Amino acid sequence: MLPLQLRLRKAVSTRVYEMTDDPDARQVYFRLLYAALKRRYHVRSYREIKQSQLQDALRFIENWRGGYYE
């Protein structure tokens, strides 16, 4: 796995764990956040997000509030 992918995965995990302590809710938030990333960057997997988009993606994750269409 590339450093870019690791940074994105860590950011997603950090954000989800900040949002809730409920394991069931976490599962939903992980799915929603990854879906929101794929939708925002028009990719099939977060792994396809480009290095040039990293800072924007990290800000997006940090500010994500739980919606699919954010």
Extract the tokens encoding 39.
Answer: 């939708």
The structure's pTM equals 0.91
Range of the domain at 44: 3-63
Confidence at residue 2, expressed as pLDDT on a 0 to 100 scale:
78
Residue 15 contacts residue 66 (beta carbons within 8 Å): no
Confidence at residue 67, expressed as pLDDT on a 0 to 100 scale:
77
Residue 69 is assigned to a structural domain of this protein: no
Per-residue pLDDT tens listing for the chain (70 residues): 679 999 999 999 999 999 999 999 999 999 999 999 999 999 999 999 999 999 999 999 999 999 765 5
Confidence at residue 48, expressed as pLDDT on a 0 to 100 scale:
96
C-alpha–C-alpha distance, residues 62 and 57, integer Å: 9
DSSP letter string over 20-55? -S-HHHHHHHHHHHHHHHHHHHT-SSGGG--GGGHH
Residue 68 is assigned to a structural domain of this protein: no
Number of domains in the chain: 1
